[in-house]
Amino acid sequence: MSDNTPPQQPSSSSPPSIPALEKFIFNPDIFSAEIVPRKLSPPDVARFLTDKVEKTIKLKSAYQVEKVTDFYDTFEVTEKFKQFLDGKEANEEDVRRSTVFARIIAKVGKPEDRDFARQYYAHLVKQANTKPEFEDLLKLYDALDGGDANILRDRIVIKMKALEPRIKDDYQASVEYNEFEEIRGYKLVRAEQANKTKDNILKLADRNQRIDEEVKMYLSIGYGYLEFLQPWAARRIRRETYSAEVQQQLTRVDQPPLNEGVVKAFRRILEILGQFITRAGEKETARIRSLRAILFFNGKVTEEEREFLNQFTGEQTDILSNEGTMLPKPS
């Protein structure tokens, strides 16, 4: 995990006590529920999660676990979380919680773990009946980067057809029908298009070219479907520090020279930012995000750039950053 400080060394015996994670996962507040605690040791985070997270965890806490595992890329949790997916979902909350665990496995797992999540996705789709379930499954489809959209689409169509006889006289049925149609005809289509874009990026053999595109995607430059692609780009940029080859970017590993390649990519885009963005406010946002990312990957900023960042310490939250809204002020 890239950071501005050396990672803590995990202890060898009992799981670590991490009060910030304890609060974030099990007692989140509405103001900071999206801000994963920063500068933690990924191995310690993994050990904390493996010890603390159980199958019956509350759904809202499961969502928090997903944010943490994604940010710290804690592939170590997959074996335990796979045990939770035993085909015994009894109600809507069970289905949604299992969907979250499947998403975690899809995001941080190895290829064989992703295959497991892909198969379990098909199982979960068969059980889905409500809008929240379909919304969660849409996000699982996105996390798989290559699941079968048609099985989700077909399940939604089945639910829509069941509602059709009632939609003229039943307002609630009409609302539900329209919600399903929005997922099927709009959101799922966008997720499919986003997956095609992901495939195109991953096919770029030239590392610098590939990272440049991932950086632009992260900065919202030249790409649509950003509800899917921006978080994916942040994940991809982190993984570009694991290995130079996409096929080998499987598990978290510290490779300082590869960090430098990411820093240089942000520098390349910063130099030509005006070619992509003309509005002052948007350009400012992209510059803040870029400079914070440079620091996140242990790069250096100039005194002038630090003064610029200091003006926005309490503004905007960026994924690849250790500062910003609701994050500690940089030391």
232, 285 Cβ separation under 8 angstroms: no
User: Between 29 and 1, whose confidence is greater?
Assistant: 29
Asked if residue 288 has pLDDT above 60, the reply is: yes
Asked if residue 41 has pLDDT above 60, the reply is: yes
78-103 average pLDDT score: 98
Q: Which of 103, 162, 93 is nearest to 133 (CA)?
A: 93
Residue 2: the pLDDT is 53
Residue 314: the pLDDT is 85
Task: Quote the pTM value.
Answer: 0.92
Asked if residue 318 has pLDDT above 50, the reply is: yes
Residue 255: the pLDDT is 84
214-233 average pLDDT score: 97
Residue 326: the pLDDT is 79
Residue 3: the pLDDT is 52
Q: What residues have CB less than 8 Å from 209, skipping those under 6 apart?
A: none
Total Cβ atoms within 10 A of residue 182: 13
> What span, in angstroms and rounded, lies between the C-alpha atoms of 102 and 30?
25
Asked if residue 79 has pLDDT above 80, the reply is: yes
Average pLDDT, the chain: 93
* 7-23 pLDDT, tens digit each: 444 445 688 999 999 99
What ranges do the domains of the chain cover? 206-331
Q: What residues have CB less than 8 Å from 184, skipping those under 6 apart?
A: 153, 156, 157, 160
Q: Which of 275, 327, 251, 273 is nearest to 296 (CA)?
A: 327
* 143-198 pLDDT, tens digit each: 998 789 999 999 999 999 999 999 999 999 999 999 999 999 999 999 999 999 99
Asked if residue 112 has pLDDT above 50, the reply is: yes
Residue 5: the pLDDT is 44
Residue 11: the pLDDT is 47
User: Between 301 and 14, whose confidence is greater?
Assistant: 301
